[in-house]
């Protein structure tokens, strides 16, 4: 039986992608296919209707699906956490240029206070994007604003934009900023469309960011298989089997052609230029599996 796991175009998806590419699932005797989804809402809907068996998920959204807060309740298993921190608050130059950066000795709360002073002086409500209403990003951004004396419900307009669409929305002037996971804050900065003014590390260190989620009913994985799958994507397993990024890079480059022949392909030519860190989690950009 093939289990279908969903993911979004985020660095947090690295353990799932690497587990697939390095045959960690095969080692656990599990047949898995990966499905790249366009948004978190799409992921939640597919989990609810049984079109996905599991995947990398937002903790609040996983809870909401399990509690029936969006559609019929679907019992989910969360066998492991995938990542902590990793989000950034990115603002367009029109707002960010008048704010200090954290390395200058200014805390994230000080930056939020100065942002509040700035928006009141301009008498303008900025439009800020989060990746989903039921997301850690929404909680972090609202907490950051409130800590700076800004009323998130009255002084700011919120919209939902999928992570991979945040940079495009910034370019088109639809939003003034966003809170999203890597690598999209870095992408916006490198394109000159925005600057990071706060990080989840500074707002709430060790914030639970993504979890590995599996459906419990219907075609979902049975309990033992769920544990095997969780072990396959565990970071400690990844680090134990492939300790050096260089080893992973050579492996991915060598397998790129064969994977393309098998159906994996991408026309996102900029993906290989945007990862800011040499860590293992960033090497999955070389897989070119994103459609």
Domains and CATH numbers, the chain: 2-83+209-287 (3.40.190.10), 87-203 (3.40.190.10)
Q: What is the pTM of this model?
A: 0.76
With a cut of 70, say whether residue 214 has pLDDT above it.
yes
With a cut of 90, say whether residue 250 has pLDDT above it.
no
Altogether, the residues listed in the chain come to a count of: 291
Other CB atoms within 10 A of residue 273 CB: 9
C-alpha distances out from residue 29 to 3, 22, 32, 74, 252, Å = 12, 13, 10, 26, 22
Task: Output 94 or 263, whichever has higher pLDDT.
Answer: 94
With a cut of 90, say whether residue 153 has pLDDT above it.
yes
* Confidence band of 35 (pLDDT split at 50, 70, 90): very high
Q: C-alpha angle with apex 80: 77 to 213, nearest 5 degrees?
A: 40
* Confidence band of 169 (pLDDT split at 50, 70, 90): very high
Q: pLDDT for 117-140, tens place per residue?
A: 998 888 789 999 999 999 999 999
Provide the token pair at 131.
């990746």
Average predicted confidence (pLDDT) for the chain: 77
Q: In what order do the strands lie in the sheet with 195-199?
A: 157-160, 127-130, 177-181, 87-91, 195-199
* Confidence band of 255 (pLDDT split at 50, 70, 90): very low
Q: Specify the pLDDT at position 222.
A: 55
Q: pLDDT for 44-88, tens place per residue?
A: 999 888 899 888 999 999 999 988 887 778 888 887 788 888 899
**Mean pLDDT throughout 102-122?**
82
């Amino acid at each position: 039986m093939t289990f279908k796991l969903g993911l979004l175009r985020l660095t947090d998806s690295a353990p799932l992608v690497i587990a697939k590419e390095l045959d960690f699932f095969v080692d656990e005797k599990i047949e898995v296919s990966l499905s790249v989804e366009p948004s978190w809402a799409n992921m939640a809907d597919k989990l609810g209707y049984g079109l996905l068996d599991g995947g990398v998920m937002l903790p609040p959204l996983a809870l909401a699906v399990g509690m029936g807060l969006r559609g019929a309740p679907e019992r989910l298993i969360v066998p492991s956490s995938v990542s902590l921190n990793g989000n950034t608050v990115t603002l367009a130059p029109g707002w960010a240029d008048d704010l200090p950066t954290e390395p200058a000795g200014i805390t994230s709360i000080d930056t939020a206070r100065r942002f509040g002073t700035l928006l009141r002086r301009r008498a303008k409500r900025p439009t800020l994007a989060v990746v989903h209403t039921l997301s850690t990003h929404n909680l972090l951004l609202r907490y950051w604003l409130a800590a700076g004396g800004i009323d998130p419900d009255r002084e700011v307009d919120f919209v939902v934009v999928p992570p991979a669409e945040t940079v495009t929305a910034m370019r088109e002037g639809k939003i003034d900023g966003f809170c999203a996971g890597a690598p999209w804050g870095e992408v916006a900065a490198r394109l000159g469309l925005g600057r990071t003014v706060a990080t989840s590390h500074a707002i709430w260190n060790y914030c639970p960011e993504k979890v590995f989620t599996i459906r419990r009913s219907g075609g979902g994985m049975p309990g033992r298989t769920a544990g095997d799958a969780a072990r396959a994507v565990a970071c400690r397993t990844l680090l134990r089997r492939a300790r050096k990024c260089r080893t992973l890079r050579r492996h991915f480059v060598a397998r790129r052609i064969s994977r393309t022949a098998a159906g994996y392909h991408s026309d996102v030519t900029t993906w290989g230029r945007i990862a800011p860190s040499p860590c293992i989690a960033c090497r999955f950009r070389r897989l070119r599996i994103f459609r």
